[in-house]
Structure formats: structure tokens, C-alpha cells
Chains A and B, each alone.
Chain A
Amino acid sequence: QVQLQESGPGLVKPSQTLSLTCTVSGGSITSDSYYWSWVRQPAGKGLEWIGRIYASGDTNYNPSLKSRVTMSVDTSKDQFSLELSTVTAADTAVYYCARVVTGNKWYIDLWGRGTLVTVSS
């Protein structure tokens, strides 16, 4: 059974870079059937799609975050990562990593449990 697990610092200072890693267990990140995504959710608010990455390294980002987001993948470790630069308090949220079923009509079929990242000095 495939599982996703987010890891990374729970506290980041303003103006610094938020870095998170998602480890895929029970399956391979290089499967042709899937690619990988990050979604975040501020406390009490809705979901915001951050972007997606293929095992090849190709990416698509939310235009509103594109200038600050970098996603990468490490196929040798079955991990993919998120970096969000120049963070502010508005970036405080639960960050989820997720598996996306490929195809034109793609969708997220598996989520990590989420990790809370707080931006504060």
C-alpha cells in the first residue's frame, strides 16, 4: 500500500526558504501512472494547489506562487521536494504532498497526512 509522508521544519523565519520533502513508500515515484503534487491549506481556509512534478523533473506551478516555488524529485530515494522562498506569515499552512493520477483529466487519489509549517520569527 503506497503511503506519502511529508517531512521538514515546522517553523521557518520570515524571508527564509521553506523546504519540505515527501517520501513515497510502498511504490515507485517513477511509475508512469502518476505524478506528484503539493497542496497547502491555511488554518480554517480552503485548499491551494502549489504545483506538480513528474518523475522526469518536468514541473507546473500555480502562477500566483511560481516566482517563489521550486519542486524537485530524487528518484533514487523515491522522494520529491518543495522549496518556497521569501516566506511570510501568509505562507503559514498545512502542506500536503499528494499523488496525481496521470491523464488529461488528472486527479489526486492519495494524500499525505500533512505537515504544519509556521512562518514566524
Chain B
Amino acid sequence: DIPMTQSPSSLSASVGDRVTITCRASQSISDYLNWYQQKPGKAPKLLIFAASNLQSGVPSRFSGSGSGTDFTLTISSLQPEDFATYYCQQSYSRAAFGGGTKVEIK
């Protein structure tokens, strides 16, 4: 399997900030990379699939990029409802999630 490493594990940001979360694969996974958002006590929610495709209904301030081993989730202008934990997940070889990035209020 292909483990995924996210960084940072947590960050503090203010409303309106641009936030970037990184996910790295231990080997190339092309663009077989998805991003999810999870709020406390809730199931995860799909944000981005295949590295850069915005899921229907997800605000356009979310974007994904990358290919191969390095990927990025960007929130262009952080909103109050965006404070949550974000996970990447590779679907290249079975599946593996990154360890998560908790986005907290500064």
C-alpha cells in the first residue's frame, strides 16, 4: 500500500486567510487523490476528487492541485464554517488516508 503524509497536522488561521494543506505520497499516485472535510461528530464530506475536481455543491474557494507525489488543498479565503479537519486519501492502490490537518481559529 501507499501511505500518505499530510502537513501540517494542525494550523491556526483567521477568517479571510488563504490556507494551504499539503499531502505527500510515498510513491507516485498520478492524480488518484481525494480530499475530505470532517467536522466534530460528523462523517467526512468529499471536497475534491481526482486531485483537482471540485465536488458538486462545494464552494469554489476550495481547490486542489498536484500530481505524482505532491498535492495541495487550498482554501482561498477561510470562512467560519471551514474550521474542521481535512484528510487526503489516495485511491491508486486500494486506499489510504493521510493523518489529517486540523484547521483552528486563530
Interface residues of A (CB under 8 A from B): 37, 39, 46-49, 52, 60-63, 96, 101, 104-109, 111-114
Which residues of chain B have C-beta atoms less than 8 A from A114's C-beta? 43
**A106: shortest Cβ distance to chain B, in Å?**
5
Tell me, rounded to whole Å, the shortest Cβ–Cβ distance linking B28 to chain A: 14
Which of A61, A63, A111, A114 gathers most chain B CB within 10 Å? A111
Pick the contact of A112 from B43, B46, B95 — CB < 8 Å? B43
Q: Are B34 and A108 in contact (CB under 8 A)?
A: yes
Residues of A within 8 A of B36 (CB): 47, 108
Is A46 in contact with B50, judged by CB distance below 8 angstroms?
no
Q: Is B55 an interface residue (CB 8 A)?
A: yes
Task: Please tell me the number of chain B residues within 8 Å of chain A, measured between CB atoms.
Answer: 23
Contacts A47-B44, A63-B1, A114-B43 given; indicate if A107 touches B96 (C-beta within 8 A): no
A–B complex contacts, Cβ < 8 Å, 11 sampled: A39-B97, A46-B100, A47-B89, A47-B100, A49-B95, A49-B96, A52-B95, A105-B91, A107-B91, A108-B34, A111-B44
Q: How far is the CA of A108 from the CA of B87 in the complex (A)?
A: 12
Given A48, A49, A63, A109, which contacts B46 in the complex, CB threshold below 8 Å? Answer: A109
Further 4 A-B residue pairs, CB within 8 A, beyond A49-B94, A60-B94, A114-B43: A47-B36, A47-B100, A105-B50, A112-B43
Contact with A along B40-66 (1 / 0, CB 8 A): 000111100110000100000000000
Q: Count chain B CB atoms within 10 A of each CB in A101, A105, A113 and give the residue with the most.
A: A105
Q: B55 touching A109 by the CB < 8 A rule?
A: yes
A59 to chain B, nearest CB (A): 11
When distances are taken between beta carbons in the complex, the residues of chain B under 8 Å from A46 are 87, 97-100
Contacts of B70 in A (CB 8 A): none
Tell me if B31 and A62 are in contact (CB < 8 A): no
Q: How far is the CB of A53 from chain B (nearest CB, A)?
A: 13
